Amino acid sequence: MARDFYEVLGVARDAPRDEIKKAYRRLALEHHPDKNPGNKEAEERFKEAAAAYEVLSDADRRAEYDQRGRAAFDKAHGAEFEFSVDDILGRHADLFETLFGRAYHDPGPQVARGHDVQATLEVDLRTAALGGKVELALEGERACPACRGTGSKGTARSCPTCHGRGRVTRRSGERGQFFSMTTPCSACGGSGMDPAAACPDCRGTGVGRGSRSVQVTVPEGATNGSTLRLKGLGAPGVRGGPAGDLFLRLRVRRDPSFRREGDNVHSDIDVPAYTAVLGGSADVRTLRGVSSMQIPPGVSTGSVLRLRGQGIRSGDHLVHVRITVPEKPTEEETEHYRRLRELSEGASP
């Protein structure tokens, strides 16, 4: 006949939770299978104490037990509290760690974080300077398309050997000392999944290979050789583990029209000789579009004109002047230049 749970733990019916826990710890230490190898009676006492603690340490279950009694409670819930030794070691891991100085718990199925991925992202100067979104195609590990990363070909079923924990615990004792050794389950390879239910494409890992597209946000002012870290966009985790990170090294393509120095942008502008002498306006192409610039009279080749705020972030756009003359002047133009030379020579002292 099944004993009353209060009797099993040796506590009064109005015992507080702390006293119930203390009583269970004492019995767990006394009847632990590692201290009593081969002793079936001690093992049953160990399991009985665990079942009593599961009920009496929970306020709702305890109230139901007090109201219905052991017979009625067992009829409704008995199977829920029939644990194996490994079950108990896993469910009460924190308590056993306190008792024995090391964790006597099963850490569960072996999941693993995906590894970090490194790649190069090539962008143009405008995208690096002003920021923007870029699509990047990556080849390599990805979530298995057949099972969508779950590792299961259908409804997941627990491995019958390790009962879904992915590990098995072996206990041994020597000269009064006892310890437990936990190793990956050889039947399921640590997945905790029934091998018969594992996805055949990825063999239950949830990881496959193929191409995937990643949208990358390039921040404003990104520089050549800088590294972007995209958290969680690396290789997928194994058996539901978290994904790794994606590290992108930026390669900024050279631009034939612009040169960058810090947050300033440089470009060249060809100014006709007459505009250099008389002054005027010119359209200048910048990273942000076309801007109108005033050319002051008497400007010379090598002069640098500034468009404030047209660079990167708060930088400027610096325009380097190059004076141009016609390669094949007309007779009229030649006459004007000859006359200009005579005037210049006549003005010389």
Domain at 5-100: CATH architecture: Orthogonal Bundle (1.10)
Whether the per-residue pLDDT at 283 is higher than 60: the answer is yes
Instruction: Write out the residue limits of the CATH 2.10.230.10 domain(s) in the chain.
Output: 117-252
Query: What CATH fold (topology level) applies to the domain 259-339?
Result: HSP40/DNAj peptide-binding domain (2.60.260)
Residue range 317-335, pLDDT digits in tens? 999 999 998 888 899 988 8
Q: Are 263 and 221 in contact (CB under 8 A)?
A: yes
Q: Count of H helices and E strands in the chain?
A: 9, 13
Read off the tokens for 277.
């002498």
Tell me which of 307 and 143 has the higher pLDDT: 307
Residue range 31-67, pLDDT digits in tens? 887 778 788 898 899 888 888 888 898 888 898 889 8
Phi first, then psi, for residue 134 (nearest 5°) are: -135, 135
Whether the per-residue pLDDT at 97 is higher than 60: the answer is no
Q: Tell me what pLDDT residue 349 has.
A: 54
Q: Are 228 and 121 in contact (CB under 8 A)?
A: yes
Distance (Å) of CA 319 to CA 59, 265, 295:
79, 9, 11
pTM of the entire structure? 0.54
Q: What is the CA radius of gyration of the chain?
A: 39
Share of the chain above pLDDT 70, in %: 83
Among candidate residues 126, 110, 139, 104, the one with its CA nearest the CA of residue 235: 139
Whether the per-residue pLDDT at 108 is higher than 80: the answer is no
Average pLDDT over residues 120-148: 91
Residue range 203-239, pLDDT digits in tens? 777 888 888 889 999 999 999 999 999 998 988 887 6
Q: What is the mean pLDDT of the chain?
A: 83
Q: Tell me what pLDDT residue 204 has.
A: 78
Residue range 3-26, pLDDT digits in tens? 899 999 999 999 999 999 999 989
Q: Tell me what pLDDT residue 127 has.
A: 95
Read off the tokens for 52.
């009593």
How many degrees, rounded to 5, is the angle at CA 108 between CA 170 and CA 179?
A: 25
**How would you label 311-344 residue by residue, b for 16+ Cβ within 10 Å and e otherwise?**
bbeebbbbbebebeeeeeeeeeeeeeeeeeeeee
Whether the per-residue pLDDT at 104 is higher than 50: the answer is no
Instruction: Write out the residue limits of the CATH 2.60.260.20 domain(s) in the chain.
Output: 259-339
Tokens 């009625």 correspond to 72
Residue range 146-196, pLDDT digits in tens? 887 777 877 767 788 877 777 776 655 454 444 556 677 777 777 777 778
The strand pair at 132-143 and 246-252 is best described as unpaired
Share of the chain above pLDDT 90, in %: 38
Q: Tell me what pLDDT residue 86 has.
A: 62
Instruction: Write out the residue limits of the CATH 1.10.287.110 domain(s) in the chain.
Output: 5-100
Q: Tell me what pLDDT residue 175 has.
A: 46
What CATH number is given for 117-252 in this structure? 2.10.230.10
